[in-house]
Chains A and B, each alone.
Chain A
């Protein structure tokens, strides 16, 4: 598969700025990104680097940017069913049951058809027995699984993951990372994951996009050509981690060397 021909998501010369107290803050500057169909791309950056803004622009939730975002050759105009999104908070609707939450995004279907899709997706995330539960009865990890199921019901080509495991404890996080890989392998959805967890970025991504802060730019893109499932303590994994760490802490750690 050639990278350019099958390119699914293309971001070109993207700039975004906010007005804060009369002044202008540049959130994103000159972002170019090309993501193949079926690819898993991680975007890492420190907080405030605009990585979430980038994801929200791709989702169609943000306006007032310059540059282009194209999916399968078409310029995006607002949100669309070709893109799903999972947020850091599960954003389940507290008064709807798990199955109602999953069915929230299913519209214009017969009841029977809808129920089948809901059941299939609850099975996909391993929560078939919790259809009638309310969100407050679920653990954080389970709630996030429901959110993943909800984001997939319309079979989006592209799933945008905005720090989806950021609020979970370490063990649940690892479980869900494995889960999302499994789902990715089953559904073959293109995945774009935003995270501040470097290990997570390497564990999941075919490529890791490193962003710098203020203004947010793409600093480097590192391919991760390791077979899955990946071993976080393998030599190659650790080497890639070192390479990414060097990008972030090259400047920040130098003053400490002098201080000692």
Chain B
């Protein structure tokens, strides 16, 4: 029908706006190569990266490396999510637990997970455990800190309503505090997952014999800049997919929220 065309055109326009910049970057990059401005050893063109990507995909190497990295992230992130949420809720609800733990958290937070790599290798060797430990540290702090913040942001007006109505504490926490903290908790999980993903690559760059970070490091030693770029772009794309999945979950959980989403 006629009036369906305009929204459809609108959608196509928005899609073009969404992918426009990426397409332009690839186009300019390829053009610079054709015009002879690029040294393909230092910066191979997109066409060559695509071919290398296809080769790595066909051989199954890429999938294997991605699988190993994703598994490590899921392990480290999973532990961080359970501990971060559990401790975060406990700290958010209890000033006493907060006082006991605050200093350790505040001092632990600024230490980059990468700084833990030497100790992690000494403690756990270069096997899976050290990587999972690094990932756990990276994801843990954003999750716990956002959980605490979310709980502390409980609207005082609702606290007053609950006092007037003599609502039991457990019911108040379950019906008001936790749902109210959910947007902040989801932000914590999203940031935590991103940091976890960055940490796995960092950990694999230094000590690993598999994973997407290892793929990049290995290629560097052989000066295969196209493989390095395939690895980098893969990291970016998987990170974006993970983020989108969590956002999807967030939108399903937080339907009541009518947030500002930009003009």
A107 touches B179 (CB 8 A): no
- Of the stretches B48-56, B61-69, B99-107, B162-170, the one at the interface is B162-170
- Residues of chain A from 52 to 84 with CB closer than 8 A to chain B in the complex: 59-61, 78-81, 83-84
Question: What residues on B are CB-neighbors of A135 within 8 Å?
Answer: 256
Find B171's partner among A59, A94, A95, A107 (CB 8 Å cutoff). A107
B164 touches A107 (CB 8 A): no
A91 touches B171 (CB 8 A): no
Question: What residues on A are CB-neighbors of B171 within 8 Å?
Answer: 107
A79 touches B166 (CB 8 A): yes
A80 touches B166 (CB 8 A): yes
Is B258 interfacial (CB-CB < 8 Å)? yes
A91 touches B158 (CB 8 A): yes
Query: In terms of DSSP, what is the predominant structure of the interface of chain B?
Result: helix
Given A91-B158, A104-B175, A107-B171, residue A59 in contact with residue B256 (CB < 8 A): no
Question: What residues on A are CB-neighbors of B8 within 8 Å?
Answer: none
- Return the chain A residue nearest B172 by Cβ: A104
- Taken residue by residue from 85 to 120, chain A's Cβ proximity to chain B (1 for < 8 Å, 0 otherwise) reads as 101010101111000100011010000000000000
In angstroms, how far is the closest chain B Cβ from the Cβ of A80? 7
Residue contacts A-B, CB under 8 angstroms, 29 given: A59-B164, A60-B163, A61-B163, A61-B164, A79-B164, A85-B164, A87-B157, A89-B157, A91-B157, A93-B158, A93-B161, A93-B176, A93-B179, A94-B256, A94-B257, A96-B175, A100-B175, A104-B162, A104-B165, A104-B167, A105-B164, A105-B166, A107-B168, A107-B171, A136-B256, A136-B258, A150-B165, A151-B164, A154-B165
Question: Interface extent on B, as a size class?
Answer: 20 to 34
Is B4 interfacial (CB-CB < 8 Å)? no
Question: What residues on A are CB-neighbors of B256 within 8 Å?
Answer: 94-95, 134-136
Residues of B bordering A, CB below 8 Å? 157-158, 160-168, 171, 175-176, 179-180, 254, 256-258
In angstroms, how far is the closest chain B Cβ from the Cβ of A108? 8
Given A93-B158, A134-B256, residue A79 in contact with residue B163 (CB < 8 A): yes
In angstroms, how far is the closest chain A Cβ from the Cβ of B61? 47
A91 touches B161 (CB 8 A): yes
Question: What residues on A are CB-neighbors of B254 within 8 Å?
Answer: 95
Question: What residues on B are CB-neighbors of A104 within 8 Å?
Answer: 161-162, 165, 167, 175
In angstroms, how far is the closest chain B Cβ from the Cβ of A65? 17
Find B167's partner among A78, A83, A95, A105 (CB 8 Å cutoff). A105
Give the A-B contact count at a CB cut-off of 8 A.
Answer: 58
Residues of A bordering B, CB below 8 Å? 59-61, 78-81, 83-85, 87, 89, 91, 93-96, 100, 104-105, 107, 134-136, 150-151, 154
Find A107's partner among B166, B176, B257 (CB 8 Å cutoff). B166
Question: What residues on A are CB-neighbors of B167 within 8 Å?
Answer: 104-105, 107
CA distance A104 to B180 in the complex (A): 15
Closest 8 CB pairs of A and B: A105-B165, A95-B256, A95-B179, A79-B163, A85-B164, A94-B256, A79-B164, A91-B157
Residue with the greatest number of chain A CB neighbours at <10 A, chosen from B158, B161, B164, B256? B164
CA distance A59 to B166 in the complex (A): 12
CA distance A230 to B87 in the complex (A): 59
- Return the chain A residue nearest B182 by Cβ: A95
B179 touches A83 (CB 8 A): no
- Return the chain A residue nearest B160 by Cβ: A61
New contact pairs (8) apart from A89-B157, A91-B157, A104-B165, CB-CB < 8 Å? A79-B163, A81-B165, A83-B164, A93-B179, A94-B256, A107-B166, A136-B256, A151-B164
CA distance A135 to B179 in the complex (A): 15
In angstroms, how far is the closest chain B Cβ from the Cβ of A78? 8
- Return the chain B residue nearest A85 by Cβ: B164
- Return the chain A residue nearest B254 by Cβ: A95
In angstroms, how far is the closest chain B Cβ from the Cβ of A131? 16
Question: What residues on B are CB-neighbors of A136 within 8 Å?
Answer: 256, 258
Question: What residues on B are CB-neighbors of A100 within 8 Å?
Answer: 175
Question: What residues on A are CB-neighbors of B175 within 8 Å?
Answer: 93, 96, 100, 104
